[in-house]
Amino acid sequence: MKIKVCGMRDSSNIRDLIELKPDYLGLIFYPGSKRYLETLQLELVAEVSQLSKITGVFVNEQPEIVNQKIQLFKLKAVQLHGNESPAYCHSIKMQNPSVELIKAFGIDEDFNFSDLEPFLTVTDFFLFDTKSAQHGGSGKTFDWNVLKQYSYQKPYFLSGGIGLENLDEVLTVSDNRLYAVDLNSRFETEPGFKNIGKLKLAFNKLNPVREQEDI
């Protein structure tokens, strides 16, 4: 299972994190987020990009800004966490064909999974998060049983309130479309700063093979 750690912005914290080699490292470019990233040392960007897929998280951003961030931060993936349309997704993908496009959706018990159909051909992955007014980062989980209603084959990231206390439940999700887990607020000491010790425990639980390789 792939691991994404999102909401990073402190340089020293990022350097500590990349020693764990997360598959994806998320930088939030949404000004309304408590984890908003304005800038980052370019030498650190180059260092991170060799070990993890740097993922830019955007919410209803102007396409030209997304394209600028892709170039500046060497983004390997873009996560769209707002009300972006299929046409918007298609435009970003066409301009950046080598960049993975992840479309996020806030999930609750009333979510209609058929709404995903127009996005199937313009995205690489979906991300299912807990529905919230702040576009993620709530630290709350949704009822993962609703994923039984998901009928498409598009692989997805699971997000929303995932922490050490419920990782065992994540591992019981029997779905080969579950591509990655997204770790964020439950591993923070403050918004944007992660507890590396807790993350290491999570990495070892989610992927014991990694632990064996490190020995």
Domains of the chain from N-terminus onward:
2-214 (3.20.20.70)
Query: What is the C-alpha separation between 163 and 168, in angstroms, rounded?
Result: 10
pLDDT the model gives residue 132? 73
pLDDT the model gives residue 140? 78
**DSSP per residue, 10-39:** -HHHHHHHHTT--SEEEEE--TTSTTB---
Q: Max alpha carbon distance in the chain (Å)?
A: 47
pLDDT the model gives residue 179? 97
Higher pLDDT, residue 146 or 137? 146
pLDDT the model gives residue 210? 53
Q: How confident is the model at residue 213 (pLDDT cuts 50, 70, 90)?
A: very low
Instruction: Enter the pTM of the model.
Output: 0.93
How many percent of the chain have pLDDT more than 90? 87
Q: Which residues are catalytic?
A: 6, 129
